[in-house]
Amino acid sequence: MRSLTALTLVSGAIQASAVDQQAKCLGLQKSLHLENTTILNVAYIAAPTNVSTPGSCQSTAVVTAAPLCRVQFVINTTATSAVHAEAWLPDTWFGRMLGLGNGGLGGCIDYSNLDYGAGLHFAAISSDNGHDGNSGSVFLHHPEVINDFAFRAVHVEAVIGKQMILAYYGKPAAKSYYLGCSTGGRQGTQAALKFPDDFDGIVAGSPATDFNHLSLWQAFMSHFVGAPTSPSAPSPKFLPASLWPVVSAEILRQCDGLDGVVDGIITEPDECLFRPEAIQCTAGSTTNCLTPIQVESVKNVFTPLFGIDGQLVYPRYSPGAEADPNMSQLFGGEVFSITLDWGRFTILNDSTATLANLSIQDVPFWDSINPGGIATFNGDLSAFLNRGGKFLTYHGRRDPIISSTNSKRVYDLISHTLSLPTLDSFYRLFLIPGMGHCSGGIGAPSFGQSGGLNAVNDSAHNILLAMVDWVEGGVAPETIIGSGTGGATRTHCRYPMRSVFNGTVFVCQD
Ligand SMILES: *[C@@H]1O[C@H](CO)[C@@H](O)[C@H](O)[C@H]1NC(C)=O
Ligand SMILES: *[C@@H]1O[C@H](CO)[C@@H](O)[C@H](O)[C@H]1NC(C)=O
Ligand SMILES: *[C@@H]1O[C@H](CO)[C@@H](O)[C@H](O)[C@H]1NC(C)=O
Ligand SMILES: *[C@@H]1O[C@H](CO)[C@@H](O)[C@H](O)[C@H]1NC(C)=O
Ligand SMILES: *[C@@H]1O[C@H](CO)[C@@H](O)[C@H](O)[C@H]1NC(C)=O
Ligand SMILES: *[C@@H]1O[C@H](CO)[C@@H](O)[C@H](O)[C@H]1NC(C)=O
Ligand SMILES: *[C@@H]1O[C@H](CO)[C@@H](O)[C@H](O)[C@H]1NC(C)=O
Ligand SMILES: CC(=O)N[C@H]1CO[C@H](CO)[C@@H](O)[C@@H]1O
Ligand SMILES: [Ca+2]
């Protein structure tokens, strides 16, 4: 049996009466005086309800985790930048802080995970990452806004969050945690690198690490398949949406069975040496097939991206991921919107740039700008390791916008940098066959990595609770059990272990 530290109180926890908490909560408006921080609004939420939200991202948020104290505040990070944030402070507090991340180029407070965290009795804090909304235009000529996005918003969230918890509950948080995915995965990685004391345990999924190279690679993916320049004259490279299912079917035909089970899931896409020539059109067959130029497009997609010096820029797209509905973000004919904004507003400072002529020669230039130090591709986690920090990461093998192979690459980088053959003592990467970007997909992609997934609330099935058990109980997760539709379950393995079919089920093997 796994220990269940996660659902018990730690010392210093609070179970106060609602009457006391309501008065205390409302008093914060006047009593809280935190560095660079203005309290905008304080509300006591006594029962489940929907509340309105500021800014352009959402207009309502669901609060199921009540009773809690909702504090809305703004932290001036410099004279030209500020981070808006909220703390959801539950009456029944188990003594823990949970800092949250963001997504894409956002800009959006993560209300779903504020509710999730508060429901699990964390004091949960989320910020807008230093700007409102999902557009990159706010970065133009605003290097401090870029700095908030690249490293600082999550740091001030942790610093001010801890001070607020002390002020409200009268005790410091016994432990602090972080939960985020995608950009949030990169932010969590950046926290471990730059501010190793901020969090005791970091859960950082599907991370957008090596961010400049990731962005360039995403643009090259779009370039490799071209665009339908006009309905009557598409680029000969372009694959219309109707052809991708043909590609996907052939990928499964060639690679689904490699793992021993024909189930639509390619357990290890890095072993899939897909040959698109198999579906090249022939004299007698000209529909549901690829022209030689389209074969070349597809080959480029499934080939690692190398730079002018022959160095790997970014791993290849995972075969199978092109079947995820969000694949159109890279292959729909437009340059990936996040790369376009990042290139326009932080690298080139030209709001009309199209990236149409982006070339592999441009990689060193993007590297040299590295806005705000966003790259987040550094294997030296020694400070985080030495202070006893724990790190859990995961990556869906059908992620359609960030290659899961990059998470292996980051693991190997840390391993080489620290000269540790295995990182098991403090860093574990779970690869999730079938999962898309951060959640969803096929197989068993739900394991408590965010709110709204109906995950089982125990540490064998819930990666956040597993982290709590690791930090507080010393029990590291050997596996994570995911669940999916129709009662599907699967035991997910930590890299470099492999998920192997034993004739009955998939098990983890060295
Ligand atoms: C934050 O900056 C705003 C605008 O510059 C200013 O009005 C406010 O007083 C500052 N707040 C704090 C707490 O420094
Ligand atoms: C909140 O809004 C959702 C729809 O977004 C609705 O299903 C739910 O019943 C509402 N909850 C409350 C407590 O009003
Ligand atoms: C407060 O602002 C100053 C200058 O703007 C900065 O040096 C300091 O780190 C800030 N403190 C926090 C907690 O953000
Ligand atoms: C797990 O906890 C969350 C957060 O409190 C809650 O919303 C969810 O209903 C729980 N799930 C189960 C299966 O108990
Ligand atoms: C664009 O502006 C950023 C600061 O916002 C700066 O770091 C970068 O060097 C600029 N790019 C160019 C090409 O000058
Ligand atoms: C891209 O290059 C072509 C010629 O190769 C040129 O005509 C076009 O103006 C360039 N576009 C941009 C946006 O620089
Ligand atoms: C496969 O693994 C499961 C779970 O560990 C085990 O119960 C079963 O006996 C194994 N089957 C074989 C054939 O080894
Ligand atoms: C990460 C991401 O972009 N996810 C999108 C996938 O597609 C669905 C439906 O179009 C969107 O709602 C998600 O935001
Ligand atoms: Ca399979």
Token pair 């909560």 is at which residue?
Answer: 25
Instruction: Choose one of 491, 507, 509 to mutate for the ligand 7 pocket test, by most ligand atoms within 8 angstroms of C-beta.
Output: 507
48 lines ligand 2 (CB under 6 A): yes
Output the ligand 7 site: residues, CB below 6 A: 502-505, 507
Instruction: Take atom 5 of ligand 6 and give the residue whose Cα is closest.
Output: 357
| 405 within 8 A of 271, measured Cβ to Cβ | no
Which residue CA neighbors atom 3 of ligand 5 most closely?
346
DSSP β-bridge partners for residue 74: 38, 84
Ligand nearest to the CA of 261: 9
The domain ranges of the chain are: 13-173, 177-209+376-473+480-510, 213-371
Residue 182 among the catalytic residues: yes
Is any atom of ligand 8 closer than 6 Å to the C-beta of 437?
yes
Question: Which ligand number lies closest to the CA of residue 47?
Answer: 2
Q: Using DSSP, state whether 461 is helix, strand or coil.
A: coil
Active-site residue, 437 included = yes
Cα 491 to averaged position of ligand 7 atoms, centre (Å): 12
With a cut of 70, list the residues of the chain below it in pLDDT.
Answer: 1-16, 230-233
**Residue whose CA is at the smallest distance from ligand 8 atom 10:** 326
Q: Is 15 in the pocket of ligand 2 (CB under 6 A)?
A: no
Q: Which residues line ligand 1 (CB under 6 A)?
A: 36-38, 76
pLDDT reported for residue 287:
93
Between CA 323 and CA 330 the distance in angstroms is: 12
Containing 200, the helix (H) or strand (E) segment is none
Which pLDDT value is given to residue 495? 98
**447 CA to centre of ligand 4 in angstroms:** 12
Q: Whose atoms come closest to the Cα of 362: which ligand?
A: 5
Q: What six digits make up the tokens of 44?
A: 């006591």
pLDDT for the residue 122: 98
CA of 305 to the centre of ligand 7 (A): 39
489-494 vs 479-483, strand pairing mode = antiparallel
The CB of 373 under 6 Å from ligand 5? The reply is: no
Rounded distance between C-alpha atoms, residue 110 and residue 89, angstroms: 15
Cβ–ligand 8 distance for 121 under 6 Å, the answer no
What pLDDT, on the 0 to 100 scale, is given for residue 303?
98
Tell me whether residue 399 is one of the annotated catalytic residues. Answer: yes
Copy the structure tokens of residue 390.
Answer: 């724990």
- Give the closest residue (by CA) to ligand 1 atom 3: 76
Pairing of strands 81-90, 122-127: antiparallel
80 lines ligand 3 (CB under 6 A): no
The ligand minimizing its distance to the Cα of 45 is 2
CA 422 to ligand 7 centroid distance, Å? 26
CA distance 67 to 327: 40
For residue 111, report the distance from its CA to the centre of ligand 1, in Å: 25
Q: What is the pLDDT of residue 330?
A: 96
Question: Domain 177-209+376-473+480-510 is in which class?
Answer: alpha beta
State if residue 156 touches ligand 3 by the CB under 6 angstroms criterion: yes
Ligand 3 geometric centre to CA of 75 (Å)? 9
455, 482, 430: which is closest to 119 by C-alpha? 455
What residues does 72 pair with on adjacent strands?
A: 41, 86
Determine which residue's CA is closest to atom 8 belonging to ligand 6: 357
What pLDDT is recorded for position 230?
61
- Ligand 1 atom closest to Cα of residue 35: 13
The alpha carbon of 330 and the centre of ligand 9 are apart by a number of angstroms equal to: 25
Convert the pLDDT of each residue in 231-286 to its tens digit.
566 789 999 999 999 999 999 999 999 999 999 999 999 999 999 999 999 999 88
Angle ∠(307,312,314) on CA atoms, nearest 5: 100
Q: How far, in Å, from the CA of 216 to the mean position of ligand 6?
A: 18
